[in-house]
């Protein structure tokens, strides 16, 4: 399995993503500069955290207009797994690949610590190695991670089982404690907590590694089916 890790000006978790995919998981991985604008030939795409373009206008807003996002949309339509974490989640929302918005934390402070998440949907490409309602320990690091959507969108997310992770103790004011959601097709996941920073026990938790092993196993199953 070959991962693409998209790098924007201001990304600062790209090496963490690369390490999780290549070293912790043992898969192939490449850093892809945003101006390359081509994502064909990769089996999964990772959009890391950071402060793309300095978070000017809104977090992820400028990055969402980059040419590589056009390629990202094509890959999403094809069914390629796409994981956006923190700023990556913000980019997915700003580009319209996921619904809702990420706004300032309700206490108006940057937060950086481990949080307990509840796995609400363990049937996605990213979560099959988890148990439903399993509590996992994943770090957060954001100032604008407060997930917001209107009542109609929230009802749709619930009806379609698109809420993948919720916070056990909501740290930022997110509606319905949402920490991560998936698109209707199930191949685009956005989340504020950082699984790549919890891919090895040395880091304080290896609960995030199951997200990468889930992607690998589902890719292998698909490959075997199509072979």
Could you give the CA distance from residue 205 to residue 199 in angstroms, rounded to a whole number?
Answer: 7
Q: Is 30 a catalytic residue?
A: no
Longest dimension (CA), the chain: 52
Could you give the CA distance from residue 66 to residue 91 in angstroms, rounded to a whole number?
Answer: 10
Catalytic residue among 75, 94, 144, 196: 196
For residue 76, give both structure tokens.
């999403």
Instruction: Specify the long-range contacts of residues 177-183, CB closer than 8 Å, at least 24 apart.
Output: 178/147, 179/115, 179/117, 179/147, 180/89, 180/117, 181/98, 181/99, 181/100, 181/147, 181/157, 182/98, 182/121, 182/124, 182/126, 183/76, 183/97, 183/98
Q: Is 75 a catalytic residue?
A: no
Q: Residues 7, 197, 182, 176: what is their CA dihedral angle, to the nearest 10 degrees?
A: -130
Calculate Rg over the CA atoms of the chain: 16
Cβ–Cβ under 8 Å, residues 157 and 99? yes
Cβ–Cβ under 8 Å, residues 163 and 52? no
Q: Is 196 a catalytic residue?
A: yes
Catalytic residue among 86, 94, 115, 142: 86
The CA angle 151-157-160, to the nearest 5 degrees, is 135
Question: Which of the residues are catalytic?
Answer: 86, 194, 196
């Amino acid at each position: 399995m070959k991962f693409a890790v998209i790098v924007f000006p201001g990304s600062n978790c790209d090496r963490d993503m690369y390490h999780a995919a290549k070293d912790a998981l043992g898969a192939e991985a490449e850093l892809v500069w945003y101006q390359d604008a081509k994502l064909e030939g990769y089996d999964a795409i990772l959009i890391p955290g950071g402060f793309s373009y300095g978070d000017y206008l809104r977090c992820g807003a400028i990055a969402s207009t980059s040419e590589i996002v056009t390629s990202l949309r094509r890959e999403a339509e094809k069914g390629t797994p796409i994981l956006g974490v923190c700023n990556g989640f913000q980019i997915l929302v700003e580009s319209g690949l996921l619904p809702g918005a990420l706004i300032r934390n309700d206490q108006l402070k940057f937060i950086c610590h481990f949080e307990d998440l509840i796995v609400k949907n363990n049937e996605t490409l990213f979560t099959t190695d988890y148990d439903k309602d399993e509590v996992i320990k994943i770090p957060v690091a954001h100032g604008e991670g407060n997930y917001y959507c209107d009542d109609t969108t929230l009802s749709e997310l619930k009806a379609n089982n698109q809420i993948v992770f919720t916070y056990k103790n909501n740290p930022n004011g997110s509606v319905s404690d949402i920490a991560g959601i998936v698109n209707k097709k199930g191949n685009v996941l956005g989340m504020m907590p950082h699984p790549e920073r919890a891919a090895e026990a040395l880091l304080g938790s290896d609960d995030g590694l199951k997200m990468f092993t889930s992607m690998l196993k589902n890719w292998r199953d698909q490959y075997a089916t199509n072979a």
